[in-house]
Chains A and B, each alone.
Chain A
Amino acid sequence: MPDKKQDLIDQKLQDLNNDGVDRRGFLKCMAWAGTGLVWTMSGGIPVSRAFAKSADRHAAKGADFTFVQISDSHIGFSKPANPDVTATLQTAINKINALPQKPDFIIHTGDLSQLSKPSEFDTLDQVLKGASAKQTYFVPGEHDMLSDNGEQFLQRYGKGTKGSGWYSFDQKGVHFVGLVNVANLKAGGMGSLGHEQLEWLEDDLKGRSTSTPIVLFAHIPLWTIYAEWGWGTDDSEQALAYVKRFGSVTVLNGHIHQIMQKIEGKVSFHTAMSTAFPQPAPGTAPSAGPMKVPADKLQQVLGITDVNYVVSGRSLAIVDSPLANAGAANSENGDGPEHG
């Protein structure tokens, strides 16, 4: 029975929230839940529950505003891992347009294009025009900064931004900060924010009330997921030190083409799925290159991230949804008990 399974997941996550340490177990459960997870930040204390269709409606209902994160569209990519990335981006947009609450805006966490070509950016713009949310905020991925140090990207998507494209804005009491950690990368290193941007960030946050919910978004994860593959940002510690005093901090990243979550104190880290192709779990393949999955499974590993914000509780609820759900045979009475 779906309800019974839902109860079981809720129970399990409840237990995890009580002790708050079994993240490995939690990640397993997350993988099992398959269709995603709702994160609610309430007074800095993370509360999670598995995401089901009813939870989706509940989460969106009464939210003061919602926004959607999409990532890693890689327009221009045409290799076997996904010969038609424009079509899957279109599917993601359709999914956004079908959400119960129209999002106020979209955040794209980088790698819009595969090779920073004008034609690739044109195609992305064309597809995004069809989104119900008219405003999209961007940060560049390393694929958007090829050849020209991001000149083209800045001209198109970075008007009014600072440095290599960083900026902040406010939406209904939430402070959003878009950071760039793909510029001027050093040999042997990972992502990098750089001194100038860190100084700007410190200044940008200065004087803001600790009760202001903060959302940081950047392409490469701002926490080290897997250093061997460069899945982290060398100087992110400094950036995180500046947000430490705030009661609710949400960090949204892309780059790794899969969902990863971590909670550290009042900071909730989250990476989004790609709309183009999946990448392997850390260390499970010779490299982080595109992962080929059977064509009928592709849309289960691509997706969007829907974030709902409720002012009264100053909480953010994050819901990840794949472009297509696994078949009933997989989701009902699945392999849940083995994680029990």
Chain B
Amino acid sequence: MTKKTLCLASLPAPVLIAMLLLFPGSRKLTASDRPPSANAEVKIDNFVFGPQTISVPVGATVTWTNHDDIPHTSVSTEGVFKSKVLDTDEKFSYTFTKAGTYSYYCTIHPKMTGQVIVQ
């Protein structure tokens, strides 16, 4: 194995335990984990969802953030998800567990529409 492993092995047990406590996340990094890019961001800017259409894998979490001075919502037209009213800088997240195309809109300004494609 690597030099790093050898170095760790040579460390006293209390130090190793302390390191594990400090960096618990490092233990979870395995090949089966999703890359962080699976999650997606939708920015609400100037009364527009951007990007208007996003494609994400099954299991991805999409987060909407309102950057306008006016409140908006992100609500599925099929009733799948429904954010609360998002004031400036407020966020809403939803995790998509099933493949499909999800249309949504702002119930306050219905001209604002968007789509999440889950593959």
**Residue A229 at the chain B interface, CB threshold 8 Å:** yes
Smallest CB gap from A79: residue in B: B69
A334 at the interface (CB under 8 A from B): no
Size of the chain A interface, CB-CB below 8 angstroms:
25
Contact of B55 with A by CB under 8 A: no
CB within 8 Å of B: which A187-232 residues: 187-190, 228-230
Taken together as a complex, chains A and B put the C-alpha atoms of A143 and B72 apart, in Å, by: 10
Beta-carbon contacts under 8 Å, B53-90 to A: 68-71, 77, 84-85, 87-88
Which of B48, B70, B77 is the most central at the interface, judged by chain A CB atoms within 10 Å of its CB?
B70
What 1/0 mask marks residues of chain A from 153 to 193 whose CB sits below 8 Å from any chain B CB?
A: 00000000000000000000000000000000111111000
A287→B47 contact, CB < 8 A: yes
- Rounded to whole angstroms, the CA-CA distance of A287 and B67 in the bound complex is 13
Secondary structure class of chain B's binding surface, majority of residues: loop
Could you say which residues of chain A place their CB within 8 Å of the CB of B69?
77, 79-81, 289-290
- A258: min CB distance to chain B, Å: 16
Contact with A along B95-118 (1 / 0, CB 8 A): 000000001110111110100000
Chain B nearest CB: distance from A131 CB in Å?
27
For A286, what are the chain B residues with a Cβ–Cβ distance below 8 Å? 46
Taking a contact as CB atoms under 8 Å apart, the answer to whether B111 and A290 are in contact is: no
**For chain B, which range describes its interface: under 10, 10 to 19, 20 to 34, or 35 or more residues?**
20 to 34
Tell me, rounded to whole Å, the shortest Cβ–Cβ distance linking A229 to chain B: 7
Q: How far is the CB of A79 from chain B (nearest CB, A)?
A: 4
Q: Is the CB of A188 within 8 A of B47?
A: no
Chain A: which residue is nearest B85 at the CB level?
A: A146
Docked CA distance A188–B68 (Å) = 19
Chain A residue numbers with a CB within 8 Å of B107 are: 185
Expressed in whole angstroms, the minimum distance between the Cβ of A182 and any Cβ of chain B is 9
* Nearest B residue to A114, CB-CB: B71
Q: Nearest CB to that of B114 among chain A residues?
A: A187
Q: Are B110 and A147 in contact (CB under 8 A)?
A: no
Task: Give the chain B neighbours of A114 by CB distance below 8 A.
Answer: 71
Does more than half of chain A's interface fall in helix, strand or loop, or is it mixed?
Answer: loop
Q: Is the CB of A187 within 8 A of B105?
A: yes
Known: A146-B71, A289-B68, A289-B70. A187 touches B46 (CB 8 A): no
Report chain B residues within 8 Å CB of A187: 77, 103-105, 110, 113
- Least Cβ–Cβ distance between B49 and chain A, in angstroms: 12
The answer for the CA separation of A114 and B68 in the assembled complex, in Å, is 13
Contacts of B88 in A (CB 8 A): 79
* A230 and B46 in contact, given A146-B71, A187-B77 (Cβ under 8 angstroms): no
Choose among A80, A146, A228 the residue with the greatest number of B CB atoms under 10 Å from its CB.
Answer: A146
Chain A contacts for B47, CB-based, 8 A: 229, 287-289
Residue A243 lies at the interface, judged by CB distance under 8 Å to chain B: no
Are A147 and B46 CB-contacts (below 8 A) given A188-B110, A289-B70? no
B46's closest neighbor in chain A, by CB?
A287
Distance to closest chain B CB from A71 (angstroms):
16
A147–B105 CB distance below 8 A: no
Does residue A301 face the partner (Cβ distance < 8 Å to B)? no
Closest CB-CB distance, A130 to chain B, in whole Å? 28
Q: Restricting to A81-129, which residues have a CB under 8 Å from any CB of B?
A: 81, 114-116
| 18 A-B interface contacts by CB (under 8 A) | A79-B69, A79-B88, A80-B69, A114-B71, A115-B85, A116-B85, A142-B108, A142-B109, A143-B71, A146-B85, A187-B110, A187-B113, A188-B110, A189-B110, A229-B47, A230-B109, A289-B46, A289-B69
> Which 4 pairs, one residue from A and one from B, show the smallest C-beta to C-beta distance?
A187-B105, A287-B46, A287-B47, A230-B111
